[in-house]
Structure 1
Amino acid sequence: MLIYCWNINGIRAAEKKGLLAWLTQTAPDVLCLQETKADPIELSDQLLRPPGYRSYWAAAEKKGYSGVATYCKQAPTAWRVGLGIERFDREGRVLMTEHGDFELYNVYFPNGKASPERLAYKLDFYDAFLAHVDARVQAGKQVIFCGDVNTAHQPVDLARPRENEKISGFLPEERAHLDKWLAHGWVDVFRHLHPDARDAYTWWSLRTNARARNVGWRIDYFFVHQRCLPRIKAAGIAADVMGADHCPHWIEVHD
């Protein structure tokens, strides 16, 4: 199973930039999108049901904000929205689809740059999400989660670590949460398979022509629990794919 993940920074804008043509050409089994910024009732049939796919949505209460969508070639055996926590679920950040014997979580983690309150919200979300997926593993489930984590974990994961030490997205307290994920048995798939990869980024600021200079951040991830790790055979970043300030990244999952 080929799974792609992409923060497309507005699905209607991405549609105009060729999202559906890219989907047809790439043909992943599953595509997880973040920051869709749309309620599905407002979207075209082409976006909701592109040829060969079904789509599942989590929309924010606030219009034009947040949101995730998962496109599947085969209908999942189950799906659900949210964590069951109202303060997080109203922002449409979590969508789970079940594929055979594993659960796939498509997540748009909060950004903490706006204010100290939003940073606290982000860290609370990290804690709540970890508790949720840990409980699923303890219940005997195989779990994969992916999305825009909004934090670069290690200095190798961004081009200018020293300059960003006091910026949300690379703060010590944010990075410590990702350390905690690893301590709980979660594995950063790309870094596990490509431990020496450098200049491998998934997001570039639109303000400074950063993408042309590859001054970027790796803030988009696939994490799998170590129990599921033997099934992951490949992972990569499609940095050549344009259309948003993020690029797609992917993994291959085998039976």
Structure 2
Amino acid sequence: MAPAKRLNMETKCGAESVPEELRSLGAFPHQHSPSDRPGYSGVGLLSRTKLLAVTYGMGDPELDAKGCVLTAEFPALRVVCVYVSNSRRGLGRLSFRQAWDERFHSFVSQLDRSKPVAICGDLNVAHQPLDLRNLSGNKRSPGFTREEREAFGELLGAGFLDSFWVFNPSLPNAFTFWTYLSGARRGRKDLCDSRIEQRAKGSDHCPVGIYLALEGAG
């Protein structure tokens, strides 16, 4: 068994704009953006393995217009690349976010019944106090409301794992997002490891990588 080789990314780049250097390495690009703003807050996937199937969205036109989902099926698992809608400053979209979370949880749980699922992307939530640098200043901030944290907890309660914390349960300063404001950035048995690539720049987020050992994963 060999570690699966995948790259998931939030991107504003369409699949047709993937650099030829990546294509020459044998990478197959796929990309999806919310329907109301093409190229904005999209998700993408590059794979050296041809996919069994690729689907876009969750089957709900209203919800799919604001958040985006790309599901790639491999022989041994499905990879769900996702950008979850932000509840925005002032929490003006919190009710929409709650509806989105409920539909997404149902969507991935249904997929998981027939094949293991790896969820990758920007879930726009900090689940525990350890996920924040400044707890006192963020108690009703977008991504750290009680409603959003409970929804993420329900996802974990359904059997999904927060891969990084499985291997690093109390590691301090393990952050994947820094606001652009104020210069802030200056368990499944086949899950082998997870790490945060904190030195990767170019966005307000940094990548989280997971390593899987799956028979037939490619």
Task: Compute the TM-score of the two structures, normalised by the length of structure 1.
Answer: 0.77
Q: 2:197 corresponds to which letter in structure 1?
A: A
More strand by share: 1
Determine helix, strand or coil for the equivalent of 2:185. Answer: helix
Shift of 1:137: 2.1
CA distance in 2, matches of 1:235, 1:30: 13
- Report the TM-score when normalising by structure 2: 0.89
Task: Tell me if structure 2 keeps the 8 A contact 1:2–1:250.
Answer: no
Residue 2 and residue 250 in structure 1: after superposition, are their counterparts in 2 closer, same or farther (change >3 A)? farther
- Give the distance between the partners of 1:58 and 1:243, measured in 2 at CA: 20
1:146 to 99, 106, 120: 120
CA contact (8 A) 2:28 2:46 kept: yes
How do 1:76-155 and structure 2 match up within 5 A? 76-91=51-66, 93-114=68-89, 116-138=91-113, 140-155=114-129
CA distance in 2, matches of 1:96, 1:191: 24
Contact 1:68 1:92 in 2 (8 A): no
Instruction: State the partner residue of 1:175.
Output: 149
Letter of the aligned partner of 1:113 in structure 2? R
The code of the aligned residue for 2:31 comes to W
Q: Which residue of 2 aligns with 1:31?
A: 7
Q: 1:216-227 residue pairs with structure 2 within 5 A?
A: 226=187
Give the 3-state SS of the residue equivalent to 1:204 in structure 2: coil
Q: CA deviation at 1:40?
A: 3.9
Aligned-CA RMSD value = 2.0
Distance 1:66 1:119, change over 3 A: same
Contact kept, 8 Å, 1:105 with 1:146, in 2: the verdict is yes
Residues 38 and 59 in structure 1, CA contact (< 8 A), matched pair in contact too: no
Structure 1: gaps spanning 5 or more residues: 4-28, 213-225
Deviation at 1:181, TM superposition (A): 1.0
- Report sequence identity in percent: 29
The alignment of Structure 1 onto Structure 2 pairs a total of residues equal to 212
- Which letter does structure 1 place at the counterpart of 2:46? Y
Q: 1:104 corresponds to which letter in structure 2?
A: V
1:155-211 superposed Cα distances (whole Å, 9 cap, x missing partner): 000100111001111111110111111211111111111101110000101111111
For 1:59-98, what per-residue CA distance to the aligned partner results, in whole angstroms no more than 9, with x for missing partners? 2222442211100011112111111110122346100111
What is the SS of the residue equivalent to 2:31?
strand
Name the CA distance, whole Å, in 2 between partners of 1:176 and 1:251. 24
